[in-house]
Amino acid sequence: TQWPGRSAEEIEKFVTAPIEIALNPVQKKTSVRSTTLFGLSVVKVIFDDGVDDAYARVQVNNLLSGADLPDGADPEVQPPYGPTGEIYRYTLTSKDKTTRELKTIQDWVIERNLKA
C-alpha cells in the first residue's frame, strides 16, 4: 500500500498496523508478515499449503475493505507471486553443515534442480 510522502514511522502506525489488525482473522493462514518503508507498506499473508488462490484473495479483499486507513492509502492485493516475481522462498538449515557447505548445496544442487 502506497502513501506517498510519509515516513516509515507514519506508514507503520497508520497503514501497516491497521492492515495487520484487519487481516488477523483471515482463515487458513500460517502467518502475516510486513515490511514498512518510506511511503510504502507491504503486508504478506502466508496461507496453509493447498489453499485456493481465489479463496485467499476473496478473504483478504473482504477484510481489507474494513481496514481503517487514511485517505490516499488504498491497498492493492497483488498476484500470489508478487510484483518481484517471487514464487517460492526457502531456507536451508543444518545442525552439522557450515554456512559455506549449505551455500554450495544451494548453488550446485538445489538451484540447478529448480531450473531444470
- Sequence spans of domains, the chain: 1-85, 87-116
Spatial distance between the Cα atoms of 7 and 70, rounded to a whole number of angstroms? 14
Q: Which fold has domain 1-85?
A: Alpha-Beta Plaits (3.30.70)
Spatial distance between the Cα atoms of 108 and 66, rounded to a whole number of angstroms? 47
Strands (E), 54-106: none
Confidence of residue 106 (pLDDT cuts 50, 70, 90): very high
pLDDT digits (tens, 9 = 90+) for 19-62: 999 999 999 999 999 999 999 999 999 888 888 888 999 999 99
Spatial distance between the Cα atoms of 18 and 74, rounded to a whole number of angstroms? 12
Q: Which three cell numbers stand for residue 3?
A: 502513501
Confidence of residue 82 (pLDDT cuts 50, 70, 90): low
Say yes or no to pLDDT of 84 above 60.
Answer: no
Q: What pLDDT score was predicted for residue 104?
A: 93
